[in-house]
Homo-oligomer: A and B are copies of this chain.
Amino acid sequence: MTLDAEVDALRRVPLFRGIDATKLRLLAFISDRTRFAAGERLCNQGEEGDSAFIILEGSADIRVDTPDGEKTVARVGRHSIVGEIAILCDVPRTASVVAAEELDVLTVSKDDFLRLLKEFPDMSLEVMRTLAQRLERTTQDLAALKASGEAA
C-alpha cells in the first residue's frame, strides 16, 4: 500500500480525526502495518506491552486468563484501539488479543502513542471516550452476570 493510501486509511479512523495531514503522514511512516490471520495472537496476557494496536479492518477477541482457562470478555472491531491499557498504566498486558477473522492492524509504539496523546487533546478525549464506553459495557455485563448468578 502506498503512503498516500495509508494516510487515507488513517484519516477514516475516528481516533485520528483531530490530527492534521502532515502528522498523519508521519504516523503512517513510523507505524507498522501488519496483517493477522484468524486465530493469530496480537499479544498475550502477562507480556510486557510496548505498543498499542489500531484495527483498520476486521475484528478481534479480548481474552482473559481464568482458573478455568482463557475466556473471551469482549470483541472489538474496525477502528477500535486495543492494547493501550498496558501503555497507559505501565503494567504487563492485562488481556490477550486474538484475531477473530483476517485483521489489518496499525501498531503504534508506546513512545509515539504517548507523544500523540500529549500533542493532540482531541485524540486524548477520543481515547478517554473509548475507555469509558468499554468500562460501561463491562460494568453492565458484570452487573447482569451478578444478578443472574444470585437468581440461579
Chain A interfacial positions (CB closer than 8 Å to B): 62, 64-69, 71, 73-74, 84-85, 88-89, 91, 94-95, 114, 117-119, 121, 124-125, 127-129, 131-136, 138-152
Pull 19 A–B residue pairs with CB atoms less than 8 Å apart, ordered by A. Answer: A64-B139, A64-B142, A67-B147, A68-B147, A68-B151, A73-B142, A74-B139, A85-B136, A88-B129, A88-B132, A117-B121, A118-B125, A128-B131, A134-B135, A138-B139, A138-B142, A145-B149, A149-B149, A152-B152
Give the number of copies in the complex.
2
A146-B71 in contact given A131-B128, A139-B95, A139-B138 (Cβ < 8 Å) = yes
A146-B143 in contact given A88-B125, A89-B136, A138-B138 (Cβ < 8 Å) = no
